[in-house]
């Protein structure tokens, strides 16, 4: 059965009505950013709305004034290559996969915190899908067992904050705690709680990690100038009670519904961050608790040249200790999933279509994994849901 994404349906309906690019309003964002490019032969409703509404957008943030600004170099490294070998796949998608969101409460508190202040830190768990070969029946679609079977390439990323960055003024330094981790490692070294002894306070208890969301992600490159980590949530589902609404849209239980916890932590149904990797030869900001940098091989270090930051590549995240800057994007996935000029000329699939299709497949896959959202997540990670906290949507 062929899956039709929302972007594809909109594009089909509006194909004959879309105006050419040169009719954009003077001074609009479309006109400014794309003036050097020829009119795109492939139009979408999203692009049309962007032209009409760009004049009302808020002014750009003061990102470049911050000490930890993202790199300004515009070189395009040969490593900015997509892992998908499907000729119709968007070239901007460097990696795609499944993403899980967790938080861990403060020491000696309940795994389900009663307020945002009781959260100690947040975590991202990235589970990349294997690259498809040209010999696959449909190399553009994830193989049936690629997302369902255990992977030895799971990455655990620590975000040492209670929340995720939301706007360009929010700049958190995240660190890769585990790379190439098996699900047994995640079970034994991350998901569960632990105890330790102190001389002054005796036995202390670290609560188990609590899930707050699951979805699909893509690491994208926008012309080599910046990288983005974009995600589309599949869980929490509306049937789990996020805001008490049921049966809307898609998702593991009939639609995605953000609860109080998700909103206060900065999660969105569709969100994105600009991501830049720190050159480990440069020290981190004073007072930052992110440990020492990664130990990269010489050939990877050379790619940093003398730059303090470079756009994040998937391979950077395969090294424990990698530090990367996460900058919030208030525009959601608009920039991260923007079609590239060459892809439009060649008639390739749009990144948003690719992500929506992956989201739909993920929702279908999760439905048979457990009785509730937590059960689906833990079954996906091959652990017993009865031993871990439920997915939290309210304080």
CA distance 69 to 327: 9
d(CA 255, CA 245): 9
Our CA dihedral for 297, 302, 308, 314, rounded to 10 degrees, sits at -60
- Flag whether 71 is in a domain: no
What confidence score (pLDDT) does residue 239 get?
77
Number of domains in the chain: 1
Does 98 fall in a domain?
yes
Expressed as residue numbers, the domain containing 122 is: 82-195+202-387
The tens digit of pLDDT for each residue in 39-62 reads 444 444 444 444 444 444 344 344
pTM confidence score: 0.75
**Is residue 117 included in any domain, yes or no?**
yes
| Contact status, residue 384 vs residue 390, Cβ threshold 8 Å | no
Look at residue 155 in the predicted model and tell me its pLDDT. 97
Structure tokens that stand for 156 in this block: 């655990």
Characterize 368-381 residue by residue with b for buried, 16 or more Cβ atoms within 10 angstroms of its Cβ, and e for exposed.
Answer: eebebbbbbbbbbb
What is the C-alpha to C-alpha distance for residues 296 and 310, in angstroms, rounded to an integer? 14
Per-residue pLDDT of the chain (395 residues; tens, 9 = 90+): 445 555 555 555 554 444 444 444 444 444 434 444 444 444 444 444 444 444 443 443 443 333 344 444 434 444 454 445 566 789 999 999 999 999 999 999 999 999 999 999 999 999 998 765 555 545 444 444 444 343 557 999 999 999 999 999 999 999 999 999 999 999 999 999 999 999 999 999 999 999 999 999 999 998 778 999 999 999 999 877 554 333 333 444 458 999 999 999 999 999 999 999 999 998 766 666 667 789 999 999 999 999 999 999 999 999 999 999 999 999 999 999 999 988 899 889 999 999 999 999 999 999 889 999 999 999 999 999 999 999 999 99
Residue 230, C-beta contacts closer than 8 angstroms, at least 6 positions apart = 217, 218, 220, 270, 271, 272, 333, 336, 337, 355
String of DSSP letters for 29-83: HHHHHHTTSPPPS---HHHHHHHHHGGGSPPPP-GGGSTTPPP------TT---S
In a domain, 46, yes or no: no
Q: Does 97 reside within a domain?
A: yes
**The pair of three-digit structure tokens given for residue 80, joined into one six-digit string:** 């900015």
């Amino acid at each position: 059965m062929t899956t039709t994404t929302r972007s594809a349906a909109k594009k089909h309906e509006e194909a004959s009505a879309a105006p050419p690019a040169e009719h954009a309003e003077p001074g609009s964002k479309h006109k400014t950013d794309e003036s050097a490019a020829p009119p795109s032969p492939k139009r979408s409703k999203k692009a049309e709305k962007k032209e009409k509404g760009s004049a009302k957008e808020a002014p750009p943030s003061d990102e470049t004034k911050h000490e930890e600004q993202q790199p300004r170099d515009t070189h395009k490294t040969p490593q900015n290559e997509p892992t998908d070998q499907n000729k119709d796949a968007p070239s901007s998608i460097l990696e795609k996969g499944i993403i899980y969101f967790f938080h861990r409460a403060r020491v000696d508190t309940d795994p389900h915190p009663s307020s945002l202040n009781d959260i100690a830190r947040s975590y991202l768990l990235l589970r990349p899908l294997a690259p498809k070969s040209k010999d696959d029946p449909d190399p553009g679609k994830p193989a049936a067992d690629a997302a369902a079977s255990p992977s030895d390439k799971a990455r655990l990323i620590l975000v040492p904050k209670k929340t995720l960055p939301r706007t360009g003024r929010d700049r958190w330094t995240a660190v890769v705690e585990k790379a190439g981790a098996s699900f047994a490692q995640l079970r034994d070294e991350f998901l569960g709680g632990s105890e330790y002894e102190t001389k002054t306070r005796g036995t202390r208890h670290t609560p188990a990690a609590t899930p707050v969301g699951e979805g699909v992600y893509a690491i994208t490159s926008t012309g080599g100038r910046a990288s983005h980590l974009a995600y589309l949530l599949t869980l929490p589902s509306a049937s789990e009670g996020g805001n008490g609404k049921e049966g809307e849209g898609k998702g593991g239980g009939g639609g995605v519904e953000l609860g109080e916890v998700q909103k206060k932590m900065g999660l969105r149904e569709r969100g994105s961050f600009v991501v830049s990797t720190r050159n480990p030869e440069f020290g981190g900001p004073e007072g930052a608790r992110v440990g020492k940098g990664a130990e990269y091989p010489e050939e990877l270090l050379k790619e940093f040249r003398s730059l303090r930051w470079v756009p994040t590549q998937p391979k950077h995240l395969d090294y424990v200790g990698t530090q990367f800057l996460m900058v919030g994007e208030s525009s959601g996935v608009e920039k991260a999933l923007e079609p590239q000029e060459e892809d439009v000329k060649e008639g390739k699939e749009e990144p948003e279509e690719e992500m929506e299709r992956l989201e739909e497949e993920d929702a279908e896959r999760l439905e048979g994994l457990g009785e509730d959202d937590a059960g689906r997540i833990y079954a996906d990670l091959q652990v017993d849901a009865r031993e871990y906290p439920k997915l939290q949507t309210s304080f």
